[in-house]
Structure 1
Amino acid sequence: MSLHLIQPLDYILIAEDSVVQAKKLQKLLEDYKLNSLVCKNGKEALEQAEKKKPILIISDVVMPVMDGYTLCKNIKSNASLRDTPFMILTSLSDPLDIIKGLQAGADNFLTKPYEEKYLLSRINYLLTNKMIRDTSNVDVNMEIVFQNQKFIINSDKKQILDLLLSVYEAAMVRNSQLQVAQRQLQILNEELKQANSELESFAHAVSHDLKTPLTGIQGIYELFVEEYGNTLDEKAMEYLHWIKVATNNMSDLIKDLLNFSKSSRANLYPEEVHLSQMAEQVIKELRMTNFKANYQIHIQPDIKVYADPSMMRIVLTNLLSNALKYSQKVDNPTIYFGKTSYHGREILYVKDNGAGFSMEKATQLFKPFTRLHSESEFQGTGIGLSTVKRIIDRHNGEIWCESEPGKGAVFYFTLNLDPAHQSDSETTGETPVN
């Protein structure tokens, strides 16, 4: 029997508890002039099959009252129904699904989600080969061991072969789909990589080209103030002040863009880096240029890592300048740089007691040009933390943060330290992170 030999009163029995899935399957069969009847569980399907024998049963596995495997066993143990082809709908997420299908005596698997043409080809195959199975229906009692469990398979050889072939075919279809998806993903990744490279090259070129004329503007400004500053009134000096602020902001932006480009373009030259000494130098430079508040600075001594020193200076400069900047408006601003450990993993941190931020916005922090505070509150380019993340990523590390509005922030980061330079990861020094 094949699709074109189906009689008007013949029908396919569907056992499916999902109304949506049942309607979808029933509509598909109706489009090809195939009658069907839906039962919402295995018990109802068995009763219906005993009333009127279907030409095929398509059953879901997970159903109330009676599941698909139990329904199949009951059908195959019924002398008048055992020759009815039985197709199981499954995701094939577990190899035991195949064993259970063999145990139950199923004739075929149909993986979800299924394609229309594939379903119809399976139905046609089962109905066409029904007579062959009828004439060679010899039971085989086969014992197999899988995952240290014994299973008895009571099915004829043709039935077992059909079932395994349907599993193999489904696996081949999935593998083909996966290969197509992987190729598409590879193409998209290459396009994204190319776009990022072009963007970084553009940012580097623009920043470098702007740096020279900006240096000239700043030099002319200094000469103008030196020679004519005493002759200018208060209003003119205010204008000059804002020129200086604007050029300084522009200089910071160019520097950050160059660092951002460098963070992914420059080669790494790792060596032992004394981070504690570097942090002290960075703090000293920052306080001489920008931050005049009476800070309490706590730097844990003797922190050494295996990393690129120029990249580590960029990391510390960004994290420490942020800590200084966002704590400068609080009473007793306090900054910590140190290390701690968690499950044997060494973790470095920069902590402050400044403005803080909501953790709901934390996922945005490491994206370029992202700011959590307005320019009027705190100045910045929004590039620093994205540069830091790139550098940490290139050192096979991680960076994350903890914060609360008005209660400061802690930025943690790890590096893929060379084993010869790792310590016992115990916290020593000034102050642990609370």
Structure 2
Amino acid sequence: MTQVLIVEDEAIVAESIASKLRRYGYEVVDTLPTGEEAVDKAGKTRPDVILMDIHLAGKMDGIQAADRISSQYHIPVIFLTAYADEQTIARAKEAGPFGYLVKPFRERDLYVTIEMARERSRLEAELEAANRELDSFSYSVSHDLRAPLIAIDGFSRILEETYAGYLPPDGVECLSRIRQAANQMDQLIEDFLRLSRVTRAPLQMEKLDISRIARDILGQLATHDPDRRVHWRVEEGLAAYGDPGLCEIALKNLIGNAWKYTMHTNNAQIQVGSLMQGQTRVFFIKDNGAGFPSEKANLLFIPLQRLHSHQEFPGNGIGLATVQRIVHRHGGRIWAEGATGEGATFFFTLPEEAG
């Protein structure tokens, strides 16, 4: 039987809700008037769902109580409140509620909201368990694969350095290719692990100077590749909120791609800027490089999918998948436009204010 905790400081309202729940076969764990009591009771009884009013007696309101319960016990909280103003809804969203019903509500709406919250909670728990298994599997595979790779690279290096004089030129070339393939495989394993960590790492949100980060990345690329002549332009004043480490990884991948795919382009150009779509600022990174078939844009963010051969442009097809996961973790969107031989533009959004 589903256990429900009601947190409502008006006793008559609380009992009315409890009666509705009992008619649908729910077990009412308790009815409490304060947020402090709700947090304590949640920890002791671990109900399946908590119905929470926002304005409560005591020092802690419903939003604060819900935020603490969600972070400590991962119990789904549904707000039942008479307040539907934008400020209250904005505050409520920060607690990550599983539902929001404005009083007065229909009995059937209450039932549907509870059942949807329970199903979402179940699916999230399954997803979290699957992610933990995937992390464990990734690290296990990484360890198991790296051991033979180290042996292949080490012994082939010994052969190359010690016995190269006894081998014909094509034998030396074979050893070189073996070592190169082993190094590529090791890099692929590392990229997969990084992709897994991006999904799980907690976000540390800060205000970011996107313009400065982009200029630094382009400067580093120019230093490491002094023979390239690339004209680049970065719009001033680009700013957003995000995790500094993850957003730098995303920008390095996007700008690094623009740098890479313009390597065969005369008068190579890279532009980092922004535009407005309605009320939303959209950042973009544009180049005039190799581009891609426009009908295959949906394949760009799939791991291991490459639209160019490794011989033409090195890479393993993990970078853009990593960028997409970073952007999605920040609640943003990313998409691309391009044409073969005419360059590519990657668009993405990030929070414009602290969330």
TM range (shorter): 0.5 to 0.7
Q: Is the 8 A contact 1:369 1:382 kept in 2?
A: yes
1:298 aligns with 233
Matched, 1:411 2:346: yes
Residues 242/400 of structure 1: CA separation in 2 closer, same or farther (3 Å cut): same
For 1:406, the aligned partner's letter is: G
2:261 aligns with 326
1:247 aligns with 182
Q: Quote the offset at 1:349 in angstroms.
A: 1.5
Residues 199/304 of structure 1: CA separation in 2 closer, same or farther (3 Å cut): same
For 1:392, the aligned partner's letter is: V
Separation in 1 of the partners of 2:134 and 2:208? 31
Separation in 1 of the partners of 2:222 and 2:169? 28
Candidates 260, 264, 288, aligned match of 2:199? 264
Residues 362/192 of structure 1: CA separation in 2 closer, same or farther (3 Å cut): farther
1:338 aligns with 273
Separation in 2 of the partners of 1:224 and 1:285? 36
Separation in 1 of the partners of 2:343 and 2:178? 32
Q: Quote the offset at 1:322 in angstroms.
A: 1.8
Matched, 1:198 2:133: yes
Residues 347/215 of structure 1: CA separation in 2 closer, same or farther (3 Å cut): farther
**TM-score, scaled to structure 1:** 0.48
Q: Is the 8 A contact 1:208 1:258 kept in 2?
A: no
Separation in 1 of the partners of 2:120 and 2:270? 44
Candidates 300, 304, 309, aligned match of 1:365? 300
- Structure 1, residues 273-326: CA drift from partner, whole Å, max 9, x if none? 333343344345556667954333333345443321211221022112222222
For 1:254, the aligned partner's letter is: I
Separation in 2 of the partners of 1:369 and 1:269? 28
Q: Is the 8 A contact 1:364 1:370 kept in 2?
A: yes
Q: Is the 8 A contact 2:153 2:178 kept in 1?
A: no
Equivalent residues in 2 for 1:17-416 (5 A)?
A: 187=122, 190-208=125-143, 210-211=145-146, 214=149, 234-286=169-221, 293-416=228-351
Q: Is the 8 A contact 2:206 2:244 kept in 1?
A: yes
Separation in 2 of the partners of 1:186 and 1:419? 26
SS in 2 for 1:296: strand
Q: Is the 8 A contact 1:367 1:386 kept in 2?
A: yes
Bigger Rg, which one: 1
Size of the aligned set, in residue pairs, is 250
For 1:345, the aligned partner's letter is: T
Q: Is the 8 A contact 1:318 1:388 kept in 2?
A: yes
Q: Is the 8 A contact 2:239 2:352 kept in 1?
A: no
**What's the Cα RMSD here?**
3.7
Separation in 2 of the partners of 1:291 and 1:190? 50
- Structure 1, residues 182-235: CA drift from partner, whole Å, max 9, x if none? 866765565455334423432243235545664676566667666666776532
Residues 287/232 of structure 1: CA separation in 2 closer, same or farther (3 Å cut): farther
SS in 2 for 1:327: coil
Separation in 1 of the partners of 2:287 and 2:198? 25
**TM-score, scaled to structure 2:** 0.57
Q: Quote the offset at 1:267 in angstroms.
A: 1.5
* Structure 2: gaps (5+ residues): 1-105
- Percent identity, aligned pairs only, is 38
Separation in 1 of the partners of 2:295 and 2:228? 30
Residues 350/195 of structure 1: CA separation in 2 closer, same or farther (3 Å cut): same
Residues 312/231 of structure 1: CA separation in 2 closer, same or farther (3 Å cut): farther
* Structure 1: gaps (5+ residues): 1-170, 421-434
